[in-house]
């Protein structure tokens, strides 16, 4: 079989974003960190609109990692209430644009009130297919793989799965959202050059785009620039250039 390197479709189908830099943005303004998180929610709204305008079908955003639980209690509770406000204020946008909301992560770790609100909006938007907004909440890439391995081991122990038949597809099908295509483009703001435990399995062939802009300053034009850069990349999947 000869596979030829092909240019990617001009627009990525799925974009994943590590929304980083809210704290530094607030600090530059001598404001509390939550001020930065609130401004960051505006960037999320802007990028969601940009996805619709550019024809990006799936947007996954890293909103809270399994590691972020170590942050001070007031920051964590502030983020949780900001999330509830976002769901209440922006639910109508999801309906207007027929965007389905989903969560990836250990949703059971979230406070009851947040979980209830998430479940309500997920249920209300579950039939939409024009766009998909996926919130990574209490998400860790290693935790996701651990949860998949536990489920696979339980099936094997029950005699429903032959260990010799475990392949990549079997693992992928036990991840949190097996029906979602892998991200094509991963964006991280704020100049940090690391994955911080984000979508370890799913990003294995994504194009990476790092930018110094802090998340609260990242708006439609910045997103459009990332898409332009993506369109210039050549995805080879191991094939010769």
The catalytic residue positions are 20, 68
Residue 192 in the binding site for ligand IPE (CB under 6 A):
yes
- In sequence order, the 6+-apart residues with CB closer than 8 A to the CB of 112 are none
How many positions of this chain bind Mg ion (CB under 5 A)? Answer: 1
Residue 105 in the binding site for ligand IPE (CB under 6 A):
no
Kindly tell me which residue out of 32, 54, 68, 213 binds ligand IPE, with binding defined by CB under 6 A: 68
Q: Exposure string (b/e) for 113-141, b if CB count within 10 Å is 16 or more?
A: ebeebbeebbeebeebeebbbbbbbbbbb
Residue 190 in the binding site for ligand IPE (CB under 6 A):
yes
Instruction: Give the nearest distance from C-beta 23 to ligand IPE in angstroms.
Output: 3
User: Dmax of the chain from CA atoms?
Assistant: 59
Closest CA to 124 of 96, 101, 97: 101
The listed partner (ligand IPE, Mg ion, none) that binds 49, CB under 5 to 8 Å by sort, is: none
Closest CA to 19 of 181, 158, 219, 168: 219
Residue 35 in the binding site for ligand IPE (CB under 6 A):
no
Stretch that binds ligand IPE, among 57-65, 116-124, 125-133, 161-169 (CB under 6 A): 57-65
Q: List, in sequence order, every residue forming a beta bridge with 18; answer none if it has no partner.
A: 62, 188
Instruction: Give the nearest distance from C-beta 17 to ligand IPE in angstroms.
Output: 9
- In sequence order, the 6+-apart residues with CB closer than 8 A to the CB of 184 are 8, 12, 13, 14, 15, 206, 207, 230
Residue 213 in the binding site for ligand IPE (CB under 6 A):
no
Kindly tell me which residue out of 15, 17, 18, 20 binds Mg ion, with binding defined by CB under 5 A: 20
- Determine the Cα–Cα distance for residues 157 and 167; give it in Å rounded to an integer: 17
Stretch that binds ligand IPE, among 13-21, 81-89, 158-166, 201-209 (CB under 6 A): 13-21
- Vertex 190 angle, CA 186 and 196, to 5°: 55
**Which residues would be at the binding site for Mg ion (CB under 5 A)?**
20
Question: Which residues are near ligand IPE by CB under 6 A?
Answer: 18-24, 62-65, 67-68, 79, 190, 192, 194, 196
């Amino acid at each position: 079989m000869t596979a030829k390197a092909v240019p990617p479709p001009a627009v990525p189908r799925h974009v994943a974003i590590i929304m980083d830099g809210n704290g530094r943005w607030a600090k530059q303004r001598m404001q509390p960190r939550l001020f930065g998180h609130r401004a960051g929610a505006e960037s999320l709204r802007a990028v969601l609109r940009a996805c619709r305008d550019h024809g990006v079908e799936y947007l996954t955003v890293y909103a809270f990692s399994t590691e972020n639980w170590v942050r001070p209690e007031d920051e964590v509770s502030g983020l949780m209430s900001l999330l509830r406000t976002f769901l209440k204020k922006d639910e109508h946008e999801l309906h207007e644009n027929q965007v389905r909301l989903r969560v990836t992560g250990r949703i059971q770790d979230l406070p009851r009130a947040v979980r209830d609100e998430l479940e309500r909006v997920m249920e209300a938007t579950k039939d939409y297919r024009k766009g998909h907004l996926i919130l990574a909440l209490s998400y860790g890439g290693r935790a996701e793989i651990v949860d998949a391995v536990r489920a696979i081991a339980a099936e094997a122990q029950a005699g429903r799965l032959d260990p010799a038949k475990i392949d990549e597809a079997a693992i992928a099908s036990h991840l949190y959202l097996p029906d979602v295509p892998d991200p094509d483009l991963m964006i991280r703001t704020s100049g940090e050059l690391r994955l911080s435990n984000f979508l370890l399995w799913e990003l294995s062939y994504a194009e990476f785009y790092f930018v110094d802009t802090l998340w609260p300053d990242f708006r439609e034009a910045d997103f459009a620039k990332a898409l332009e850069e993506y369109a210039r990349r050549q995805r080879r999947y191991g094939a010769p250039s």
